[in-house]
Amino acid sequence: MSHALTDLAISELRELAANVLRRLGVEPPEPGELTARTPITGGELLTLRASTTAEVDAAIARADTAFRAWRTVPAPQRAAVVRRLSALLTEHLDDLGELVTLEAGKIGPEARGEVQEMIDVCEFAIGLSRQLYGRTMPSERPGHRLMETWHPLGVVGVISAFNFPVAVWAWNTAIALVCGDTVVWKPSETTPLTALACHGLLRRAARDVGADPEVHQLIQGAAAVGEQLVDDARVALVSATGSVRMGQLVAPRVAARFGRCLLELGGNNAAIVTPSADLELATRGIVFAAAGTAGQRCTTLRRLIAHADVAEPLLDRISSAYRQLRVGNPLEEGVLVGPLVDARAYDGMRAALDRALTDGGEVVCGGERIEGPDENAFYVRPAVVRMPAQTAVVREETFAPILYVLTYHDLEEAIELHNAVPQGLSSSIFTQNQREAERFLAADGSDCGIANVNIGTSGAEIGGAFGGEKQTGGGRESGSDSWKAYMRRATNTVNYSTELPLAQGIRFE
């Protein structure tokens, strides 16, 4: 399908969605009060039922029951489900990518790249199933062995956002399953169809290898459905991805029942460009990080902190690149920027731009809305705004393609500007000076969970733990030792002697 924006018809997209679901083996859902829309036109794809209170309770109960058997399955055998899921995702990569485009508005390469991330994390989890290492420590008592072991935690509740409707679910689910946990997934109500597809593929994978498909449960609906998941004591861990405000609501409620939280929240990511930077390389990294996914990534580059000596030539390069970005139908070949997800996203962008202008900002390029196929579709040109200072609007995250540009004269000043926001997810520096790079990566350099040199703020790899500090929530998902969040640790002491010496040499005769 290749159409100009004004030629798009919702009937074609509706038919396309139905065909993709059929190829993925998903039966048409029962019509209901939950509406699946496409940001491509703003129109309705289909409706489906939201989960009732009783259905959410039953789903958690099934996951809790399944956990009691699943935790006793050896981890390499649990990985068989993830291995089969990886094969199904590989088989249906294009289909699932097309569904992501329809529901989230991502251009084809980004949507397919998100599915590839799912495959990558499955491979990581399969290898991890043989590496859930504990440790042995020296005991102070003769004839004793002291060690730590890791055990499955329980039911994991996954709450995901619209902008990565499948990858973030896979990050959590693939690792949780090999760790011996079961999963209850509450996706964004904006992307219910991709959730149906992933749920169907995983349960099919489980059946194909003779595992219990009840290890994964799907609940759909608005905030009330997620709140029920958050408040249920049977849910050992709540992994929630979303806004800072959402995290501020979730964390205290989970803590009140002594559950665990893994939070991936807001990002207000910045890149520092030093005088020694390769400006051509920096431009490529900046434009992709700032304009990709129409600015709707938690790792989107939102602040550019450029040295005064290179700010003008760098802005010239970025502006030139921005003017060449094709904005339009994400299903069309060659389009680089798709739509904003909805009217609220557009209103947020307009409000932020107005505040920036009030604060003395200057729009260098972009920011205008492009005519779409319907008034409910919101296409915009990514904006570059030069700011005289890091004002309140710059310190906030606006989930839209706005790049604020600030200048500096000294690297210490740049790092201070960089860190002077509440969020702490991703960051980068463009430099060919090793001292500047090392200064940025030092303990008193970038205060983010992700700090890069000579690449942008987006595009994290599966092998490294993903997450951030401060209002980003402190969670870590995906690679490295993030698996520990999905397990519980036990310290074990084994006495293989015939004596019973007490710790610290205490005698109790």
The Cα–Cα gap between 506 and 509 comes to 10
Biggest CA pair distance of the chain: 90
Residue with the two structure tokens 């731009």: 353
Q: Which of 114, 117, 189, 264 is catalytic?
A: 264
Supply the DSSP symbol for 167.
Answer: H
Asked if 156 contacts 235 with a C-beta cutoff of 8 angstroms, the reply is yes
Count other Cβ atoms within 10 Å, centred on residue 324.
9
| Structural Rg of the chain based on CA atoms | 24
Helix (H) or strand (E) holding 478: strand 477-478
Residues 6+ apart with CB under 8 A from 185: 157, 158, 160, 169, 173, 195, 199, 216, 217, 218, 219
* Catalytic residue status for 397: no
- Backbone φ and ψ for 36, nearest 5 degrees, come out as -95, 115
Residue with the two structure tokens 């011996």: 180
Asked if 440 contacts 415 with a C-beta cutoff of 8 angstroms, the reply is yes
Structure tokens at 318: 């970025």
Residues 6+ apart with CB under 8 A from 443: none
Per this entry, what is the length of the chain?
509
Burial class of 106 by CB neighbour count within 10 A (0 to 12, 13 to 18, 19+): buried
The distance from CA 44 to its chain's CA centroid, rounded to whole angstroms, is 25
Residue with the two structure tokens 């994991």: 156
Count other Cβ atoms within 10 Å, centred on residue 325.
17
Supply the DSSP symbol for 437.
Answer: H
Catalytic residue IDs: 264
